[in-house]
Amino acid sequence: MKLTVVSPLIGEDFAENVRKEVAAWAGPGVEIDVVRITRGTASIESEYDEALAGPGILEQVKLAAENGADGVFITCFGDPAVHAAREIVDIPVVGGFEPAMLTALSLGEHVGIVTVLQNVVPMIRSLTRRYGLTDRCRSVRVVDIPVLSLEEPDELLTRLHREARAAVDAGEADVIVLGCTGMIGVAAELQRRLEADDVYVPVVDPTGAALLWLQSQVRLGVRPSRATYMPPPAKERNI
């Protein structure tokens, strides 16, 4: 099985970090490569950035399918261009939001998200409503660290712990989802700190959740429905 991760950022650094991370989530016989877009933005922290990244993402998804990928993960929690991508390829495509959230729903009653900046909170709430999950997820908190500064794990963990703790203590969350795919390699430690405080609360890493999700879908033999994701009609496209 061959999976492709599309980094929707123009910089090579994030793609490189993702490349180091994904090996941990590849089962036996699973090969995961990481590509990045060339037209777009340095990070995605607004609906504006997300819209600018769209064409570049779709180009990479199409390429991945042509190159024989069995599934594609667009590594951003805002699920940018995910639904558009499902229209144009015949393989499973996921972003960071959907697999993490659906995974979390089976782990506890209320899901709390901790993301980067206040700027993306309305986008996340919009996704929650779009996917019909508002009854089970109402809490979205922020660490107030930009995407490109997430690499200092100490400060990130301190703030994740503070916000996750607050969400659990306020009764808003029974499960924590990391609300940015740039929060790499911190889920297990956050989970450990939360349990050390009090009781066990699972923390869902969106990268792991997405890559395992794709592997499961490939093994189940399913891909997005053509009743929802119809192929776009032929026409002039100048992009």
The answer to the question of residue 19 lying near its own copies (CB under 8 A) is no
147's enclosing H/E stretch is none
Contact (Cβ atoms closer than 8 angstroms) between residue 213 and residue 184? no
- Determine, following the binding rule CB under 8 A, whether residue 134 of this chain makes contact with its own copies: yes
**What is the rounded distance in angstroms from the CA atom of residue 182 to the CA atom of residue 138?**
22
Edge-to-edge strand order for the sheet containing 93-94? 2-9, 71-74, 93-94
Q: In the set 17, 19, 63, 125, which binds its own copies (CB under 8 A)? A: 125
x-or-dash string of contact with its own copies, 183-212, rule CB under 8 A = ----xx--x-------xxxxxxx--xx--x
The nearer residue to its own copies, 34 or 37, going by C-beta atoms, is: 37
State yes or no: residue 239 binds its own copies (CB under 8 A).
yes
Q: Which residues contact 72 (CB under 8 A, 6 or more apart)?
A: 3, 4, 5, 6, 61, 64, 65, 85, 89, 91, 92, 93, 94, 214
Which of 63, 108, 159, 185 binds its own copies (CB under 8 A)? It is 108
Out of 63, 84, 157, 166, name the contact with its own copies by CB under 8 A: 84
Counting contacts by CB under 8 A, is residue 154 touching its own copies?
Answer: no
Is residue 48 at the binding interface for its own copies, with CB under 8 A as the rule? Answer: yes
> Residue 87 or 151: which CB sits closer to its own copies?
87
Separation between Cα atoms, residue 173 and residue 236, nearest integer Å: 47
Residue 39 near its own copies by CB under 8 A: yes
Size of interface with its own copies, in residues (CB under 8 A): 100
CA distance 103 to 105: 6
Contact 175, 108 (CB under 8 A): yes
Question: Using the rule CB under 8 A, which residue among 64, 106, 152, 185 binds its own copies?
Answer: 106
Q: Which is nearer to its own copies, 100 or 156 (CB)?
A: 100
The answer to whether 37 and 61 are in contact (CB under 8 A) is no
By CB under 8 A, tell whether 68 contacts its own copies: no
